[in-house]
Amino acid sequence: MARPAGRLETAAAPALLAALPALALLAALPVLLCGCGGPSSPAPTPAPPQCVPPTPAPTTDARTKVETITTVLVGSGGCDGQDAACKDNKTLEAMVVSLGVDGEGALVSQQRCWTVPGLPAWLAVRGPAGGARGCLFAVYPDTSSIGIFQLELDSLNGGTTAKMVSSVATKGVNPVFGDVALEGKYLVVADYHGPDDVKSSDGAGVESFAISADCGLKFVDFREHSGGSGKVPDRQAGAHPHSAVAWGPDLVFVCDLGADKIFSYRVEANGSLSVLSSVDTAAGFGPRHSVPHPTKPMLFVVGEMGCEVLTYNIDETTGTLTLASSVSTKPNTDPPSYGSKAAEVVISPDGLHVYASNRAFSPGFRHTVAVFRLMDGGVLEPIQQMDCPSFPRGMAMTPDGKALLVASQTDGSVVSYQVDPETGLLGEVISTQEGPLGAAAFAVLPELPAAPSELSV
Ligand SMILES: *[C@@H]1O[C@H](CO)[C@@H](O)[C@H](O)[C@H]1NC(C)=O
Ligand SMILES: *[C@@H]1O[C@H](CO)[C@@H](O)[C@H](O)[C@H]1NC(C)=O
């Protein structure tokens, strides 16, 4: 595939570090050569590693100009171990790619990407508020660290973009998910601690960081998780926290795929984490991700091996979860055996429809997005199975609810589906663009105020 050079954002930090001895030598050269010790000219900056943005897909749009309204960044999880068709290439995976989405859900390439020091398997956004900047945090499981980006106005494409600043190490091992809690004050992170079949849980847990006004992260607390359910031995030998989702003023719900448990945590005012309670799922369910209802005290949890969405009612004061309902994510044409893994769960902005994705890894199973209508009592009524590109690990809905974005982890393609505003049903594919190879995570960037906030200080 041709990947012509375009406008680039680059990761200078690792190259600078690697080049430090060389820089020191260069700085010393004038002294060594002439012995004069006068003011030396600045050392030449070494060429940083550069990502090459994927080739823009030809537009099938009849409009001459696609108006970009929202920037969506796409991260990569590398190849799934059970995806034989996916071919790893670190250069094309350790990359965040910027796409634009217009008001009708059409995707455009923004010819912008970032080479990052790890697999950007999850992306979390803090919007700008009260004088604090907007931030993006990229979670790198393979290097157990979090990338820090500041949001800024995009002079190239218009709208919002991000500037890579630095990264920090996590306390736990293999972070896979992060969310912003307590009105943007803290980042909570789930540390998965792989591989899936490891018996020890050392480094599996949940941690918190304080977020500064300029997006810096300072470690606050780490709560270890221990013990897998062992029901699916090659997935659940140890604890595997897979997500940490903030809700309400101070609650965080943590799905532990290895332990078959969902934990309710409180983020204290000082950022420390307290376990309030936990609920057990069915053995072998593998709770993976969750999404709260936009207005009601309700949480939807997707089980990776169980291939179901569970609806829980949330007790707003104690954080206790009570199971209300469950429904299968799989198409009824799938065999009844374990040959598909559910991945993502998202809800429409009006709270009326829920979407869950299925990654087929055995013959006879289908890669689909399951669509549900939310009924009384938290019951999810299945209304559609939409076939989709292979290994749909990541999904996101546009803020206006008009399009559902689905990422194929196999080949890095990103498709946008039309969403019927009344029925929630998925319609035709609006457009397709390339994300990073192994595309798996989305961040929808907020609009920024037109004047840079630092000018008003
Ligand atoms: C990975 O992709 C880059 C960019 O397309 C290419 O130059 C390189 O040869 C690839 N590496 C492997 C091992 O295929
Ligand atoms: C943070 O707050 C909690 C709850 O009030 C308290 O138990 C804990 O000791 C505090 N931690 C620190 C480091 O102050």
φ and ψ at residue 14, rounded to 5 degrees: -65, -40
What number of residues does the chain have? Answer: 457
Residue type present at position 353: H
Return the ligand number nearest the Cα of 92: 1
Q: Is the CB of 250 under 6 A from ligand 2?
A: no
**Site to substitute for ligand 2 among 222, 265, 268, most atoms within 8 A of C-beta:** 268
Question: Which-ligand-closest: CA of 274?
Answer: 2
- Torsions phi, psi for 32 (to 5 deg): -65, -40
Ligand 2 centroid to Cα of residue 290, in Å, is 27
Tell me which residue has its CA closest to atom 3 in ligand 1: 91
pTM tops 0.95: no
Q: Check pocket membership of 270 for ligand 2, CB cut-off 6 A.
A: yes
* Distance (Å, whole) CA 221 – CA 379: 36
Ligand nearest to the CA of 93: 1
**Averaged pLDDT in 10-residue chunks for the chain of 457 residues:** 35 38 39 39 62 84 67 97 94 96 92 96 96 97 98 92 97 98 97 91 96 98 96 95 98 98 98 98 98 98 98 97 98 96 98 98 98 98 98 97 97 97 96 97 93 50
pLDDT of residue 13: 38
Residues 283 and 233 sit within 8 Å (Cβ to Cβ): no
Q: Are 124 and 209 in contact (CB under 8 A)?
A: no
Q: What is the pLDDT of residue 24?
A: 40
Does the beta carbon of 362 sit less than 6 angstroms from any atom of ligand 1? no
Q: Does an H or E element contain 227, and which?
A: none
- Helical H runs in 307-437? none
Ligand 1 contact via 163 beta carbon (within 6 Å): no
pLDDT score for 47: 56
In this structure, the residue with its CA closest to atom 11 of ligand 1 is 89
- pLDDT of the residue at 15: 39
Fill in the DSSP letter of residue 57: P
Which residue has a Cα nearest atom 12 of ligand 1? 89
Q: Are 423 and 383 in contact (CB under 8 A)?
A: yes
